[in-house]
C-alpha cells in the first residue's frame, strides 16, 4: 500500500521549572516520574480538544533509566497521567538528546503515516540519579583505546574543545555565560519563559508543601569578574567552570506532535512545522562539536544553508560548545538570533529533558518574529554525537 508522507507539526510543548540537583534542591523529595506526569497532564489541560484515545504512543526519555526513571517510563507515566490504558508507551535514551530523539522518533512515525498523534518528553532527576549511576562501561573502551579516557567525563571533553580551538578563550566563554544570564533575566521580566512552565507541588520533610513556579538555577546579576575568579574543577588552570557551563539539574518536559491534517481536523494549534532532522557522530573526547556536523547534515537534507536560518536554539551544556558552533558557521558570539531568551547555563540542563526545552523557546521566538521562516534546535550529546532539528515558523509572513 502506497503511503503519503505527511507534514508533522509541534502542537504544544511545556516543561516543569528546572531545579538544582542535590539535597537542597527544590525537587529533592519529588519523584522523577511525578515531574514528567505533571508535564504530560499540562499538555492535556492546555489542549482540551485533544481526544486522548486517539494518541498513538508516548515516548519519554531518561538518561539514567533506573528507579523512578525506569519501568518503561513512557508507559508508566502515561498511565499515571490519566491516559486511556489503550495508549502504549516506551522509554528512550540518547543521553542529552533524549527528548529531542523522542520528538524525532514520534515525528518519523507520524510522517510515515503509522501514527496521527503522539506525546514525547524527557525527564532527568540528577539529584536522585547522578549521570553515570549504575553504568558499567565495557573495559574494551579503554583497554583497546577505542576512546580517550576523558571521553567519559563531559567536563573534560569541554576542556578538550578549548584545546582544539584555543581562540575560544575562557574570557569568551565567560562573556557568553554572562549574556545567557542577562537574556534569561530579561525573558523572565517580559513573561516569556513563564508561559510554558508547569507549576509543580513539592514537599520537604522540614518545610512542608510548596509550589515550584520558576527555575531555580538562574543567577541574575552574574558578572564577568565573578566568573573569572571561579575554580576550574576539570583541570588545573583550565577554562571550564561552574559559571560557564550548565549545572546539575532536575526537571521534565513534554510535547504534543500531530500530522498537520489531523491537527487541523481537531482544531489544535501549530507552534512549528518539522522540516528536517539529523544526528551525527564525532570523536567522543570532543563531543561538544557534535552540533556542527548534525546541523550540516540536516541543512543538506533540507536543501537549505545556514543563511536560511533566522533563529537558533543551541543547548548550552558548555559555553565553549556553543562558541565552537558559532565560530564554525561565522556567527557572532552575541548574535541576537542565538538563544534570545538565554539558555541552559542560566536555567539548567536536566539531560534527557532539554531538547524539548529548546523547542519551547524556539516556538516563542517564532511568535515574536514572523519575518523568520526557519529556525533550528541543536545540541551536543554524550559519547560524541550531535542532534539538530530544523523547524518552519507557522507565523511566517503574517503580521506580528
**Three cell numbers written together for 302:** 533540507
- Catalytic site includes residue 96: yes
CA 357 to chain centre: 5
- Catalytic site includes residue 349: yes
- Catalytic site includes residue 395: no
Angle, in degrees to the nearest 10, between helices 319-328 and 154-164: 40
Question: Which residue in 162, 349, 369, 395 is the catalytic one?
Answer: 349
**Three cell numbers written together for 213:** 513556579
Cβ neighbours, 10 Å, residue 288: 31
**Three cell numbers written together for 320:** 565553549
Phi, psi of 83 (to 5 degrees): -70, 155
Half-sphere exposure of 139 (CA within 13 A, CB side): 1
Question: Which residue in 129, 162, 380, 395 is the catalytic one?
Answer: 380
Which residues neighbour 291 within 8 Å (Cβ) at sequence distance 6 or greater? 314, 321, 325, 378, 379, 380, 386, 387, 388
Q: CA-to-CA distance for 364 and 341, rounded, in angstroms?
A: 9
Question: Which residue in 96, 125, 129, 369 is the catalytic one?
Answer: 96
Burial class (CB in 10 A: 0-12, 13-18, 19+), 25: buried
Cβ neighbours, 10 Å, residue 24: 11
Residue from 339, 360, 323 nearest 186 by CA: 339
Which residues are catalytically annotated?
Answer: 96, 349, 380
Amino acid at each position: 500500500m502506497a503511503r503519503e508522507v505527511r507534514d508533522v507539526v509541534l502542537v504544544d510543548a511545556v516543561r516543569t521549572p528546572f531545579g538544582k540537583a542535590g539535597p537542597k534542591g527544590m525537587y529533592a523529595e519529588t519523584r522523577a516520574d511525578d515531574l514528567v506526569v505533571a508535564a504530560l497532564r499540562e499538555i492535556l489541560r492546555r489542549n482540551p480538544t485533544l481526544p486522548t484515545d486517539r494518541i498513538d504512543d508516548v515516548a519519554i526519555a531518561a538518561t539514567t533509566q533506573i528507579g523512578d526513571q525506569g519501568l518503561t517510563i513512557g508507559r508508566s507515566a502515561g498511565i499515571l497521567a490519566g491516559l486511556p490504558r489503550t495508549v502504549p508507551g516506551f522509554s528512550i535514551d540518547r543521553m542529552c538528546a533524549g527528548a529531542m530523539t523522542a520528538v524525532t522518533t514520534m515525528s518519523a512515525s507520524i510522517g510515515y503515516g503509522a501514527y496521527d498523534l503522539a506525546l514525547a518528553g524527557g525527564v532527568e532527576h540528577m539529584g536522585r540519579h547522578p549521570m553515570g549511576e549504575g553504568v558499567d562501561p565495557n573495559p574494551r573502551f579503554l583497554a583497546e583505546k577505542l576512546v580517550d579516557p576523558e571521553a567519559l567525563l563531559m567536563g573534560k571533553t569541554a576542556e578538550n574543545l578549548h584545546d582544539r580551538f584555543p581562540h575560544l578563550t575562557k574570557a569568551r566563554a565567560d562573556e557568553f555565560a554572562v549574556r545567557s544570564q542577562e537574556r534569561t533575566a530579561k525573558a523572565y521580566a517580559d513573561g516569556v519563559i513563564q508561559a510554558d512552565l508547569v507549576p509543580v507541588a513539592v514537599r520537604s520533610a522540614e518545610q512542608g508543601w510548596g509550589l515550584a513556579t520558576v527555575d531555580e538555577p538562574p543567577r541574575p546579576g552574574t558578572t564577568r569578574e565573578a566568573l573569572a575568579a571561579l575554580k576550574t574543577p576539570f583541570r588545573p588552570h583550565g577554562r571550564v567552570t561552574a559559571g560557564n557551563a550548565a549545572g546539575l539539574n532536575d526537571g521534565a518536559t513534554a510535547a504534543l506532535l500531530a500530522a498537520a491534517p489531523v491537527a487541523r481536523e481537531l482544531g489544535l494549534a501549530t507552534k512549528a512545522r518539522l522540516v528536517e532532522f539529523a544526528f551525527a557522530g564525532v570523536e567522543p573526547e570532543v563531543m561538544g562539536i557534535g552540533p556542527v556536523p548534525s546541523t550540516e547534515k540536516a541543512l543538506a537534507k533540507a536543501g537549505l544553508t545556514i543563511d536560511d536560518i533566522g533563529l537558533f536554539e543551541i543547548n548550552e551544556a558548555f559555553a565553549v560548545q556553543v562558541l565552537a558552533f558559532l565560530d564554525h558557521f561565522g556567527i557572532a558570539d552575541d548574535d541576537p538570533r542565538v538563544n534570545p531568551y538565554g539558555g541552559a547555563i542560566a536555567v539548567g540542563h536536566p539531560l534527557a529533558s532539554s531538547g524539548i526545552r529548546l523547542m519551547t523557546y524556539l516556538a516563542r521566538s517564532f511568535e515574536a518574529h514572523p519575518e523568520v521562516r526557519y529556525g533550528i534546535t541543536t545540541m551536543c550529546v554524550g559519547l560524541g554525537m550531535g542532534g539538530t532539528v530544523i523547524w518552519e515558523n507557522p507565523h511566517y509572513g503574517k503580521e506580528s
